[in-house]
Structure 1
Amino acid sequence: MTPAPVCPLAARHTGQDLIKWIALISMVLDHMRLAWPASADLFVLGRLSFPLFCLAVAINVSRNPRGELFTCSNARYLALLLLFAALSEVPYRLLGSSATFNVLVTLALGLMVAWGVQHRTLASLIVAGAALVAGYLLSEPLMYGFYGVLLPAALLLALKRPERFLLVPVALCVASNTRSDLFERAAQLEPFAILALSTAALAPLLGLALFWARLPFKVLPVTQWGYWFYPGHLLALLGIRQLL
Structure 2
Amino acid sequence: MFIDHFGRQLFGWGLETIVFGAGRLAFPLFALVLACNLARPGDQAARAKRIALRLAIACAVATPAAIWARGAPTQINIFGTLGLGTALCWVLASQSNLAWRVVLCGLVSIAGLYVEFGLTGVSLVAAIFLWRFKLRRETAALAAIMLLALTYFNASFGGVYGIVGTLVVLPLAWAVTYVSVVMPRMPWLFYAIYPAHLALIGALNAATAP
Same fold at TM > 0.5: yes
> 5+ unaligned residues in a row in structure 1: which ranges?
1-26, 186-191
Ranges in structure 2 where 5+ consecutive residues have no aligned partner? none
Q: The residue matched to 1:122 in structure 2 has which SS? A: coil
In structure 2, relative to structure 1, the CA distance for the partners of 1:194 and 1:220 (3 Å cut) is same
Residue type at the aligned position of 2:142: V
Deviation at 1:177, TM superposition (A): 6.0
SS in 1 for 2:89: helix
> Where does residue 173 of structure 1 map in the other structure?
147
With normalisation by structure 2, the TM-score equals 0.80
Task: State the 1:241 CA deviation.
Answer: 2.4
CA distance in 1, matches of 2:150, 2:49: 27
1:94 — aligned with what?
68
Provide Cα deviations, 1:43-92, integer angstroms capped at 9, x if missing partner.
101111111111122112112525x634xx55542222111100111111
Deviations 1:189-237 (A, max 9, x none): xxx612312332342x2464255x1423333543212211111111112
- How many equivalent pairs are there? 203
Q: TM-score, normalised by structure 1?
A: 0.70
The structure whose RCO (Cα within 8 Å, separation 6+) is larger is 2
Structure 1 residues 92 and 167: CA distance shift in structure 2, 3 A = same
- CA-based RMSD: 2.9
* Residue 70 of structure 2 is aligned to residue 104 of structure 1: no
2:120 aligns to what? 147
Q: Deviations over 1:111-141 (max 9, x none)?
A: 0111233x25234x55653442123223432
> What is the aligned-residue identity percentage?
20
Instruction: Describe the shift of the 1:228–1:45 C-alpha distance in structure 2 as closer, same or farther (beyond 3 A).
Output: same
**Distance in 2 between residues matched to 1:222 and 1:69, nearest whole Å:** 22
CA-CA distance at 1:176 after TM superposition: 3.6
8 Å CA contact 1:35–1:240 kept in 2: the answer is yes
Q: Does the C-alpha gap of structure 1 residues 179 and 52 become closer, same or farther in structure 2, counting only changes over 3 Å?
A: closer
Contact kept, 8 Å, 1:88 with 1:231, in 2: the verdict is: yes
Aligned to 2:4: 30
Q: Which has more helix, going by share of residues?
A: 2
The Cα of 1:170 is off from its aligned counterpart by: 3.6
| Residue 198 (structure 2) pairs with residue 234 (structure 1) | yes
